[in-house]
């Protein structure tokens, strides 16, 4: 008869076992939810609608950049973490596809950002496989910074519709849970600081103009580009001296520093707080969370 320790060793690790559980959530977006769900501001709301449109193709790119290297991963914990990462990203894409359908019904042009991001990613797909993976680690660094900012800034969250903010809180928590996975895979591949810098530069050269063009296009299609008071307020919320995005820009260069690792900045306490707040019994998403034993 096998000992319990032997059985434990034989049992295949899962993403949930290493702290990266793919959670199936049924988000509810009531008809009463306002079109401009962030503070009644069209400019800021459109920025988040644009990000939501970018997520599904972006997350598919992330998954595909990791896939060629899975056979090089021999550590069981990292293999489980990659499975958890893949599961979380796949569900993120699915739920943002659902949200994007709703936003399209509310009058946002959601086809344009989907087209633009696919064009941008097509350039990054031409990079060598290891550089594509390095680009993914940079973009995961960026999304982790956005996630941390969202979960820490209560005043910012208060401006959002209380139902809409839930999908962003869930997404942000899971981005922090798996923030180191692609980087840990990249370290197996080789982890060149020069390649990291090149991948970060390529990502910014492709994605930053695409973000600006897409955001302006969506605002113009909605008749809000040139709504000066709204545009100024939205830009201030996002890029002002204390803006949501401004606060993370100074931390982007961490990625190319010697000795960088995503876990070097400890967010475990923040993650624990939001797991309890969202998914514990009585939490904000407890009733919508369908696989508590994931």
Residue 14 lies in a domain: no
C-alpha–C-alpha distance, residues 289 and 280, integer Å: 10
pLDDT at 12: 85
Q: For the chain, what is the mean pLDDT? A: 93
Distance CA 148, CA 173 (A): 8
Q: How far is CA 108 from CA 37, 63, 163, in A?
A: 12, 27, 19
∠214-198-82 over CA atoms, to 5°?
80
Please indicate, yes or no, if residue 5 is contained in any of the structural domains.
no
Distance, CA of 67 to CA of 28 (rounded, Å) = 32
Contact assessment for residue 112 and residue 233, using Cβ atoms and an 8 Å cutoff: no
Average pLDDT of 250-278?
97
Is the pLDDT at 3 greater than 70, yes or no?
no
Q: What is the pTM of this model?
A: 0.94
Instruction: Flag whether 7 is in a domain.
Output: no
Residue 229: give the domain boundaries: 37-279
Residue 285 lies in a domain: no
Q: Is position 60 within any domain?
A: yes
Question: Is 145 inside a domain boundary?
Answer: yes
The CATH number of residue 42's host domain is: 1.10.620
Count up the domains in the chain and report the number: 1
> How far is Cα 23 from Cα 244, in angstroms, rounded to an integer?
27
26 falls in which pLDDT band (50, 70, 90)? confident
Q: What gap in Å lies between CA 72 and CA 68, rounded to an integer?
A: 9
Confirm whether 255 is domain-assigned: yes
- Report yes or no on 49 lying in a domain: yes
Which pLDDT tens digit goes with each residue over 140-180? 999 999 999 999 999 999 999 999 999 999 999 999 999 99
Q: What is the DSSP letter of 240?
A: S
């Amino acid at each position: 008869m096998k000992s319990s320790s032997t059985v434990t060793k034989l049992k295949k690790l899962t993403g949930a076992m290493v702290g990266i559980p793919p959670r199936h959530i049924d988000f509810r977006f009531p008809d009463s939810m306002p079109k401009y769900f962030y503070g009644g501001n069209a400019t800021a709301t459109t920025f988040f609608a644009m990000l939501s449109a970018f997520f599904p193709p972006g997350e598919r790119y992330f998954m595909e950049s990791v896939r060629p290297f899975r056979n090089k991963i021999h550590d069981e914990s990292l293999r489980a973490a990659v499975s958890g990462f893949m599961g979380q990203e796949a569900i993120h894409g699915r739920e943002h596809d659902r949200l994007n359908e709703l936003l399209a019904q509310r009058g946002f042009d959601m086809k344009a950002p989907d087209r633009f991001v696919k064009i941008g990613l097509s350039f990054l797909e031409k990079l060598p496989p290891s550089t594509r993976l390095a680009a993914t680690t940079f973009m995961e660094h960026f999304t982790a910074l956005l996630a941390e900012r969202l979960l820490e800034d209560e005043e910012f969250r208060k401006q959002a519709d209380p139902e809409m903010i839930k999908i962003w809180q869930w997404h942000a928590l899971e981005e922090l849970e798996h923030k180191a996975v692609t980087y840990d895979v990249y370290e197996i591949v080789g982890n060149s600081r020069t390649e990291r810098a090149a991948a970060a530069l390529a990502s910014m050269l492709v994605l930053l103009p695409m973000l600006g063009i897409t955001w302006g296009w969506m605002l113009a299609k909605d008749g809000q580009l040139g709504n000066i008071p709204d545009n100024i307020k939205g830009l201030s919320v996002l890029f002002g001296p204390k803006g949501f995005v401004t606060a993370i820009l100074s931390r982007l260069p961490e990625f190319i520093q010697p000795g960088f690792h995503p876990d070097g900045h400890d967010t475990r306490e923040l993650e624990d707080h939001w797991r309890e707040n969202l998914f514990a019994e009585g939490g904000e998403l407890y009733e919508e969370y369908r696989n508590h034993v994931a």
